[in-house]
Amino acid sequence: MSLNAARTHEVEDDLLAAMDYCYEQGWTDGLPVVPPDMKRVEEMLLFKGRPAETVLACHPATGLECTVHAAAVNAVMAGCKPEFFPVLIAAFEAMNEPNFNFHGSTASTGGSAPLLVVSGPMIDDIGMNADVNLFGPGNRANATIGRAVRLILLNVFRMTPGLSDKSTQGNPGKYSFCIAERARDNPWPLLVEDQNYPEGVSSVTVFAGGGFCNVENHGGNTPEQVLGSIADAMANYGSITLGQSVVVLSPEHMRVVAGTGWSKRQVQEYLFSHASRTVEGMRSVGKFRQRDYDQQHNEGGSSPLVETGKIHRGLSPDDILVVMGGGDAGGHSCFIPSWSRGRASIMQSKSIGVCIDCD
Amino acid sequence: MQLYDPTVTGPERNHVRATALDSLEGMTIGILENGKLNASEMLHEIAALFEQRHSCTIAPVQSKNNASAPAPGETLEALARDADFLITGLGD
């Protein structure tokens, strides 16, 4: 779609009236939006350097397509500054990977929201928050990039609540769910380094998150104590499945864990080993499925950490993404369960603003 | 003030209903189950009723590996080849 072909609406030259017009058209997430004035959209497009008609993502069931132009219009409405736009573009390129299955995760009763985890120097370049109140309000980049994702799902892909979005309860992350990985005082390689992107490149990782679970532990002074409480949250009967996990370690918990020399890999292995339930326990709540057990315990293919007679969360330690984020004070980490109970959505990552191994 | 429209128009598609069968008697029934809890059990119960009441034959069950994604083309092609009509439904 060229700029000339895009549909436009003439509204009176009054900002509040234009905001009301956006409501009347059904273009909002319930909160007021910035009217997508043509000049602002064109400024947004300058930050991408790709033709406006480039297709970023295609809905597998309806065939609806999100172009760079449509993304820019919704980014303006969400309140994004133009320099945020490359993060949004990369996020949708990641969500468009078939294994992310954005149709399923946004249509499902499970109430999923796409969590965006940004890693690398881009965070400081655009002023994202990786620190205090990480998931909360107060930072324009975090708030509006996440919000733009939802507006695109609503406006472009028509994932309309009650019609095509059948979330039973939804979750607050469906307004915005975007964080940055904290680099300051982080003793481990950053996520973007683990992903083997070249130095200086940033990445965004998308994960179909099923909610947010705070893990409080102010008394644990060893890695096993802190991680034991996180593993317990991951294994709660309401959450345990074969799906993937995101764990955001608070700096205070990180000091306990990494201060004794634990690596990220050790943490993943500990969490995978301990985030488990017995078969009897799973049966007691009606959640045991033999096919899940067989998938996790398949001969020759399962993780060596899998224990006979138990269901673990995920299929291997690789299914647990661990990053650091949040303010210096407080024994509050979090676990974010997958929307998927199995392998229906697998997290994906893309580089931001650069093309690596592109077609 | 001129605003860009944030929505897009969808592709034109020709949706056509399949021709109705004249009768179910002796037909082959296909089952497409989505892999969720109880989907297979429920659909087999229903297929058994067609077997009892209309002398239907039950074709090999086709399962989806991913309940929330469209069935792969080869799955649909196999069903079209093996069955005269199809039942599907959600588990859970």
ipTM of this complex > 0.85?
yes
Contact of A110 with A241, CB cutoff 8 Å: no
Q: What's the start-to-end Cα distance of chain A, in Å?
A: 21
Residue A347 half-sphere exposure, CB side, CA atoms within 13 Å?
A: 29
- Is the CB of A24 inside 8 Å of chain B's CB atoms? no
Q: Do B6 and A18 touch (CB under 8 A)?
A: no
pLDDT of chain A, 359 residues: tens digit per residue: 444 468 999 999 999 999 999 999 999 999 999 999 999 999 999 987 789 999 999 998 889 999 999 999 999 999 999 999 999 999 999 999 999 999 999 999 999 999 999 999 999 999 999 999 999 999 999 999 999 999 999 999 999 999 999 999 999 999 999 999 999 999 999 999 999 999 999 999 999 999 999 999 999 999 999 999 999 999 999 999 999 999 999 999 999 999 999 999 999 999 999 999 999 999 999 999 998 999 999 877 789 999 999 999 999 999 999 999 999 999 999 999 999 988 899 999 999 988 766 65
Q: Do A105 and B68 touch (CB under 8 A)?
A: yes
Minimal Cα distance from B10: which residue of A?
A64
Strand partners, B62: B32
Contact of A128 with A182, CB cutoff 8 Å: no
Of the candidates B4, B10, B70, which has its C-beta nearest A73's C-beta? B4
Maximum distance among all alpha carbons in chain A?
68
CA torsion sign, A268 to A273 to A279 to A281? negative
Of the candidates A70, A151, A344, which has its C-beta nearest B67's C-beta? A344
CA torsion sign, A322 to A325 to A330 to A336? negative
Q: Where are the domains of chain B?
A: 31-89
Whole-prediction pTM? 0.93
- Is the CB of B73 inside 8 Å of chain A's CB atoms? no
- Is the CB of A60 inside 8 Å of chain B's CB atoms? yes
